Structure 1
């Protein structure tokens, strides 16, 4: 990366090419920086930008050791006042990466791929983060204490949250939630939130669901996918809802119209 001595703002995307800091010199006036690519030695890059206030960074195809070092550098810079407005990581390979990201607490966090077959991974409390999008093949648990005080949007794709009800109590400002529940541990799903406006809930993994209880006074959009037998207990209190999509898959096929040959496999309702 060249030394742009008079630049105050830089946005650079090298796709999958390796991005290195300048060999020498500083970027003395740089105030805002956006980097995307296979970033090498981010710590040195930050040390060359004495006036940097806001950073957006996307890591692509970064090896695990370099990523760990980069996250440690971001954590140090964050403690010195740097605002990380976006942290996007294409691949997280170790659980320790998750804790480093939690300490950085970027305004927006996106993780598009992750480690596989990790269970009971404790999800750190991102106290300053307003939006989180994760696609990890993992089961997350919550820490004993702490909350996501600023979080407004949460999307957990591919991964599951073991205790959705407790998570919601830790997110007082959450407006949009996309989540998959782990019915292997919880057959009964409870969603109580006074802030939620959009809810996308996948409740059809591992085993059948027995009951769903949703109380969301401000909810405007509900998308619910559930797998259950004929005895599902479903309760929804959402007086302001405008859009509903309910897709139910049956584990035991019920008879329809008392004809033995008419069996219902899936029911889809939409408004």
Structure 2
């Protein structure tokens, strides 16, 4: 009967280009030129090949001697990089062990030749046959008008799966297929049936999804997920998210959102948030105030040592608008720091700033940047008539609301009458302890508005107040 070692000696490396090598005598430490490594047992040689972290490199050791030939087929961990579809299928068919610990395939379509849809499907089936614990496949088809459907087979032993397959529609396994021990899933595809697939993952803790096409609201209901990451290309517009995840602790959302976007988030344990969302676009601006004057252009939320930090970019509409309530669109936590950038273009911003402070009434620190684009551009203000909608409601200056603000910083401050009124309102409604004003260019520290500000500061000695010129030099106003 032919021995296993004899059979192995006749097995070659995966097909591919070969080059002839001159055999060299080993220059061992004792100088006897004896190949001592090849005399090790199979298990030790396999451990050496695993350390190469590359199946192709392991296969090329077959040229050293017959002793190494075909050993790569018995590696528990296989990594392939930049291998063409047919060659990859051939190599996987030669694997001699029934179950792998790790299978990594890296051949992205934007670097290496594209796989066909059937090629990706066949690759997934081959991977399922090898049943790895750790599966990582970055290989897919290029862009098509409509993502082609590919079924994801079940992986009974997989603890971690990463599938980045280009513009394909990933569908869950046929009825009965699931992922009983899967803890981490990362998907990048044209389309992905999220809810049916994760319902077959009873141990899932981490879910990462990156999609390449516009979506209806994403629904994720999971009793086990602790970390969730949702991202897409900037030109795509998400219509909403519906998340019920009692164990969720970290939630990342990086997406352009549709004018009809809404969020339902039930995650009582969430403590780490990072959202970066562009809102609408020029033809569908989203208005967030009753007057129709101000549009929300970008929202960013992140967790820092001070708590939740919210950054909002608010500007003037360029086209047809859709009125929305900020609280309807985004389910915001208690905000510690608010960074508000307003492109006012000559209009009054006090009313809209006050509206946002009402929504974020737990805010302790406000950074207000006025006309940020004007920090490096020339002024291009619009005409603001006396009865302009930006000044509504007309009684915003005299309102009394309870704010938690302790620190305020205003950048590009010009000292206009409405800006002075807004600062008076903040001193009246909040227990301010630290105020910083950074003057706009061409604003003289001796202007009427600045002199009015100095009087306000002197009338509130409990607050530490500072005024700076455009280039950062502090103004001594006492």
Superposition TM-score, scaled by structure 2 size: 0.46
TM-superposed deviation, 1:229: 3.4
Counterpart for residue 69 of structure 1:
90
What is aligned with 2:287?
Answer: 255
Q: How does 1:1-271 map to 2 (within 5 A)?
A: 3-6=38-41, 8=44, 9-10=47-48, 11-13=50-52, 19-21=60-62, 23-25=65-67, 44-45=70-71, 55-74=76-95, 77-78=97-98, 83-91=99-107, 93=115, 94-95=119-120, 96-117=122-143, 119-139=148-168, 140-145=170-175, 146-157=177-188, 159-181=189-211, 184=214, 186-202=215-231, 207-251=236-280, 252-255=284-287, 262-271=294-303
Higher strand fraction (1 or 2): 1
Report which stretch shifted further, 225-234 or 211-220: 225-234
**Which has the greater radius of gyration?**
2
CA distance in structure 1 between the partners assigned to 2:156 and 2:271 by the alignment: 31
Cα separation, 1, equivalents of 2:218 and 2:233: 11
**1:108, 1:131 within 8 Å by CA — same for their partners in 2?**
yes
Gap change, CA 1:110 and 1:14, over 3 Å in 2: closer
C-alpha RMSD over aligned residues? 3.0
Report the count of equivalent residues. 243
Q: 1:14 to 1:109 in 2, by over 3 A?
A: closer
- 1:167 is paired with a residue whose SS is helix
User: Any conservation in 2 of the 1:188–1:211 contact (CA below 8 Å)?
Assistant: yes
**Gapped regions of structure 1 (runs ≥ 5):** 27-40
SS in 2 for 1:180: strand
Q: Which has the higher helix share?
A: 2
TM-score (norm 1): 0.77
- Structure 2 runs not aligned, ≥5 long: 1-12, 14-36, 109-114, 304-478
Q: Is the 8 A contact 1:176 1:198 kept in 2?
A: yes
Higher RCO, Cα 8 Å, sep 6+: 1
Call closer, same or farther: CA 1:105–1:169 in 2, change over 3 Å.
same
Cα pair distance change 1:69/1:217, threshold 3 Å:
same
